[in-house]
Amino acid sequence: MEFSHELVEATIRHGIEAALKRNFFVACGIVDASGRTCGVIRHAKALYVTPDFALGKARLASAYRTSTGPMFARLQKDRPLYGATVASLNAQNQWFLAEGGAAIKLDDVKGEHHGGECVGAIGIAGCFPAAIDQEVADEVVEWFKTQAASAR
């Protein structure tokens, strides 16, 4: 699935607005299924590092085809050595192992849901605690899926 610039722009705007409703200034980034940047915007009052963090979270979510919040918690609790290994690859892969990334998974062509095809990911950075970044990212993915479905 190719993302139109209109959909990318609207999704990013939705992410920033969803965070503003929670009183946070964030950056929202979108990557495709290969982790390539489709777009990122930082709210004017967000820290200058937030776009890099948002894209890093999105790239990790895209690479692992999952949300980074549950992944981060699972790695800390059950697999800390593997988590350290993933974190050590952050720079090489332009990842950021933290809560706030969410894979965009769409149902397969037949309409059956087997986890869905990952077409990209959303990253949010700028909330505290980072669990709120994840909350916003998950909300944005659900919004994105409704928009993508109506565009088909």
The mean-pLDDT minimum among 26-40, 77-91, 92-106, 117-131 falls in 77-91
pLDDT at site 114 = 53
The predicted model gives 64-77 an average pLDDT of 89
Residue recorded with tokens 């990557």: 31
Q: What is the CA radius of gyration of the chain?
A: 14
Token pair of 50, please? Answer: 């937030």
pLDDT in tens, 105-143: 987 444 444 578 899 999 999 999 999 999 999 999 999
| Domain 5-151: top CATH class | alpha beta
Interacting residues of 83 by C-beta distance below 8 A, sequence separation 6+: 72, 75, 76, 97
Residue 144's nearest CA partner among 113, 105, 115, 100 is 105
